[in-house]
A and B are shown apart, each in its own frame.
Chain A
């Protein structure tokens, strides 16, 4: 359907206007101007911020610069989470542009994974895709692909090439004609208020009677507090790519159309704004 393909494009081309400011304690030779950038929702911080790094390194001394890391209101931002997920989880109901603080010292070893090169990002990205296919197809589709197909997925993401990416990714979205969907849905549910970083469980898209499970069914199973109202009021929002999909949406459709390029549905449960 034409409409469904439009969703794929809307997801791919989503952007978040962001303002990067250097942390005030970093030592500079002259004043550091903030740097503005439109961040792709579907990408990763360390993949798209080379210009940010160059901009701030221009005003710093070489010896003051080690691994870059990002923080929002005191919270170190996990570069291995897609940008859109980080925004929805931490800042979705705040005024734009998103204000991120840039650091070059005191890397928070207990909170963040290191990211010494683009290879680390590629490794992480491919590991997520492989895990998603383990859930969807017992790894059959990803294992049948050649190395060059794997490379094309990564290059498509890195170079923001929708067609190049989907030429291969469409195979990961197929399922046998006798089935009505994937074996299990690759998803993670995030809540900033909990210790646990995310919830991930085995969940089938099709019920034993053949009906399609919905987003609401998944949440009821994985995180019931997210959808049962307290005192009759819905205190939380369920957000994917900056929108609140209807809870009646079939989870199989969401998996095929609103997954991130890593083939996972990253779902945020956030406090509903009170105004």
Chain B
């Protein structure tokens, strides 16, 4: 049965809607993709890094603390000039090369961006739909 207005607004008040924005950029300096993201409440108020940490699933929180390549810092978006949170790119090559080598050993076709994004994305709330796994792989490597 339909909720009347007062009940509907009571339900909404206990949930917070957060809008996440993700950008994938390419770093010329490190020659790897880099994930930039930010989040805000519907009224426009941005989330702090602490608030974002809390919304990351508990199983990733422990992993994030032990892995240096997952450091998140606030940085200026190189095209928009606005503050975003960034997953640090300097160790990307290391973990990507081990994934790529084992894929090649098992003759599995690879799409670099899907591999990379499905590894780092969930750590900051970005989950790729499984159908991405069926996308055509890259032609080379």
Binding site for B on A (CB under 8 A): 78, 80, 109-114, 123-124, 127, 130-131, 134-135, 139, 186, 195-198, 200-202
Contact = CB atoms under 8 A, between A and B. Distances in A.
A114 B74 contact: yes
Contacts of B83: 109-114
A197 B81 contact: yes
B29 A111 contact: no
B29 A131 contact: yes
Interface residues on B, range: 10 to 19
Interface string B65-99: 00000000111101111110000001000000000
Contacts, number: 45
Interface of B is mostly: loop
B28 A80 contact: no
26 contacts: A78-B76, A109-B46, A109-B83, A110-B46, A110-B82, A113-B74, A113-B75, A114-B74, A123-B73, A124-B73, A127-B73, A131-B29, A131-B30, A134-B30, A135-B29, A195-B80, A196-B78, A196-B79, A197-B78, A197-B79, A197-B80, A198-B78, A200-B28, A200-B78, A201-B28, A202-B28
B114 to A, nearest CB: 25
Given A110-B83, A111-B82, A197 B28 contact: no
A275 B79 CA distance: 33
Most buried by B among A80, A110, A139, A202: A110
A113 B76 contact: yes
B30 A195 contact: no
Nearest to B93: A139
A114 B82 CA distance: 12
A196 B81 contact: yes
The 3 closest A-B CB pairs, nearest first, are: A197-B81, A131-B29, A134-B29
